[in-house]
Structure 1
Amino acid sequence: MAGFRPRVPAPADITMIAHHSVTLLFDLSDGADLAHDARGRYGRGSVAVGLLPGDFRASGRAGEVLQIRLEPVAAAALLGAPADLSGEAVPLEDVWGRDAAQAEDRLRAAGTWGERFTAARDILTRRLTELTRPDTRPPVDQEVAHAWRRTLGSRGRVRVGSLADEVGWSRKRLSARFSSQLGIAPKRAARLVRFDHAAHLLAAGRTAAGVATESGYVDQPHLHRDVKEFTGLTPAAVATAPWLAIDDLAWPASPPPAPMHQRP
């Protein structure tokens, strides 16, 4: 979770690149002030952003925004199968239901960011408890959940064939179930996770050649290819891109961002 508050009343302008999570942005202003644009589709207010959103931008005079990132397995339990969100940004109420407005009101009423983070955890926990029961099948197979967590833990350097062997499935079956339940093919998920690790290293000042080697790329051109695909930029430009400064804990080598923010 991360909380954002502008230092001065001025329009906000945030660019979000592809990330290996489903992102919820709660607009806590007095009224739907956060405008968002994903692939030419415009909307206002709180929004859910799926995996691989493409060119996603949020702007407006939003007073405060709470960002919650959910790993795809957790998002499937909390929102339903996130395949419907892949590459999309949709109004939060479309995936959260009528309770979205109540969640916004509770978060808006919290007096401090600490209270707001606590309230957010409680809201997520209650929703998970209500939606998951012992007699219902989880939305994500345990084999798929294992494959995702291995992909994340290996920083995208585990092969799909190896994952299939670990869970006792064929590669074709794993790819099909992984894609349908998480909204992204396992090979592409590995590329996305590997890119995210490489971006951290680039932001920390490492050379592109060193990052390519450390991140498991065949060579530097393959790193350039992924960075270009996921950001539209070169590795050198990624290292100083403004969106890397939004989270000074995840990106400690970056300069302080323009908006104030706090994290739990």
Structure 2
Amino acid sequence: MNPEHIYEFDLNGYVVIPRAIAAPHLQRLQTFWTEHLTSRLLHDVDFDWGEEWRALIDLDAVYSFLASVYRSKFRLDHMFCADERFVSSGGNLHHEADMFDEGIYYWVRNQRIHSGLMAVQYAVSDVTATENHFCCIPGSHRANFPVPDRFRDASNNTLLRHVFLNAGDALVFSEALVHGTYQVTNSRTRRSVFARYMNNHSYFRKPLAHHAIVSLPPTPNHAECDAPIFTSNAMTPRQRQLATEPAYARGHGPVRG
């Protein structure tokens, strides 16, 4: 863990880790992208594409930083590729501090970071002022007031900071940071991989393979160690939502009734 990186991250809500991807690894990613990933806007990463893609799960420089923030209790939630056509939130800045109900938050107590969803942008190509690029309001992950509407606009925003990357760099940021994509007219080619991590006790996106819960965890050290399997047919809608809905943050509505 680099104390300078932790300080920058706490201060600004993001940190750039230079040359996180080694040159040979980066070249393999670039070649694969050119040969297979140029036809569509966005691709969810398939780890069967090869070792160079699986390696992005836990690159050493990024892994050690995330492990420090999460105290080694975290998981990969989702990962996707994005090119110059990808623009988040329609070009407006999104998110803010203390979105606890959505799994997005950042706070510090007794010099320990407590973070919800965090993101890593791996630059597969250079991301300069001539490409659509990441922008944010530094320090907004710790703000105590709602974001005024005028500061949601990425244009003519006096608080905005543009973040540029060299190919191979990793940008790590808190999703509680007010951030988005700065659109450049006639943007040149941009190739990036976005990976988002979450506490290991929770999901951000609802996993595709999740099914309704049919058995609650058994009580530890209990004589009847096998948890009973139940059906939800006779449950009310509220009971079904409370007892059978799997855990995830994005799109998980409140209990009704």
**TM-score with structure 1 length normalisation?**
0.26
Q: TM-score, normalised by structure 2?
A: 0.27
Structure with the higher fraction of residues in helix conformation: 1
Structure number with larger C-alpha Rg: 2
